[in-house]
Amino acid sequence: MSLYGMMRTGISGMNGQANRLSTVSDNIANSSTTGYKRASTEFSSLVLPSSGGEYNSGGVETTVRHHISDDGSLRYTTSSTDLALQGNGFFIVNNANGTPYLTRAGSFVPDAQGNLVNTGGYYLMGYPITNGNVNPVANGYQGLEKVNIAQNDLIADPSRLGTFTANLPAGASVIAAADRPPTNTTASAQYTAKTSVQTFDNLGNVVVLDLYFTKTAYDAATNTYTWEAAAYNHANAAATGGFPYTPAAPITTETYTFDGITGKLTSTDKSISVQIPNGQLLEIDFSATKQLAGDYTPIEVKIDGNSPSPIDNVDIGDDGTVMAIYKNGAKRAIYKIALADVPSPDNLLVLSGNVFSTSADSGDVQIGFAGSGSFGSLSSGALEQSTADIAQDLTDMIEAQRNYTANSKVFQTGADLMDVLVNLKR
């Protein structure tokens, strides 16, 4: 082994331990950084060809590994826009230039425009929910928008979907066609039950619908009962709040059949479609309505939509749905937060601002939502803490210091032997 080779090996060892100390210092400095993933230095040997009578020392090569796939523990907060992930997946964020990145740093707050931005200055991205629908792209960032929760925006949402669940009295009498609406539209019109529901038109005006339920027939051969539902605009009702309506015709009518043994709705079409005046087509689901003994009892009535009102707060669900809560108490889903993942997260490129970018080794990005497929769970009002372990890092620091000193002794010994060799002639 040459003296120069021995000295080069010592230098290689010192460089390797210096790299190890660098990753330790990064870990300790970022021990309080939200979503930080610890780094470590891995060593591999460099072996030079040697003969039987002479050994050539090689060296050591270091590779920095970022443990991006490791989960950090959760720290709970009081802000609904603080987000944390457990399991696979990353938040998709954009910088000011619109370049997409991945991150686990979920400390988001609204900026002056209402866009959610984290401490690194990156904007949270999600899909807008339009008419209750989301249009995700599985393998790209197209369609994503900055999640905006502007507090000064007045939004009126027309009614489109509803659920109506009730018990229709099995003991009610069948009412003849001549006595019930829409044949009889006078004040003497007969019906079995009535419920009024609140809906909203395109401008957010309240439109009250009067729903009439009438038992119309019984088929002894099939043991089935037939009911008719009719929807009227309450604004067209008489001063007494009921018949006669002007105009006399209902907005729509629908016929339903119920099994005489189970009381369940057996009709193929289990909903009623009502065109709201100056509004949208409202689809009310009756599928859970039954005909059982007892009185007429509305059990659950839900109609979407709201009148004009500013956003008071937001609530983010476990699936990433951003729900706007308005000052009038109404709620509306406005965004769905998208998550991204890659086949090899530990091979993502680590960039400033606690963000990551895809590389050739990490694989292509896949888009999805929290709790679906291989994606992890999302928690609102929580932050993922750094995965740095101070105790382990301090231990590594001491070990690296001792190893650095040992390698320096090798170099120093080589230097001393070189001095002896140079001074042999003296």
CA–CA dist 31, 37 (Å, integer): 9
- What's residue 153's pLDDT? 61
pLDDT score at 277: 94
pLDDT, residue 345, reads: 94
Q: Which two tokens stand for residue 248?
A: 């006399």
The whole-number pLDDT of residue 425 equals: 66
Helix axis angle for 3-29 and 390-422, nearest 10°, is: 160
At 306 the pLDDT is 81
For 279, the enclosing helix (H) or strand (E) is: none
pLDDT of residue 341: 94
Given this model, what pLDDT does residue 10 score?
84
CA atoms within 13 A on the CB side of 147: 30
Question: What's the order of all strands across the beta sheet hosting 206-219?
Answer: 193-200, 206-219, 224-233, 252-259
Q: Which of 193, 297, 214, 211 is nearest to 252 (CA)?
A: 211
How far, in Å, CA of 8 to CA of 63, rounded?
19
Residues ≥6 apart with Cβ < 8 Å to 393: 24, 27, 28, 31, 38
Residue 372 host element (H or E): none
Spatial separation of the C-alpha atoms in residues 393 and 25, rounded to whole Å: 8
218's tokens: 């019984």
Which domains are present in the chain?
3-67+387-425 (no CATH), 74-153+310-384 (no CATH), 156-308 (2.60.98.20)
**What pLDDT, on a 0 to 100 scale, did the predictor assign at position 139?**
84
Average pLDDT per consecutive 10 residues, the chain (426 residues; last block may be shorter):
76 89 93 93 83 75 91 93 94 94 94 92 92 84 90 75 95 93 90 95 94 95 95 94 92 95 94 95 96 94 86 88 83 90 94 93 92 92 94 92 89 81 74
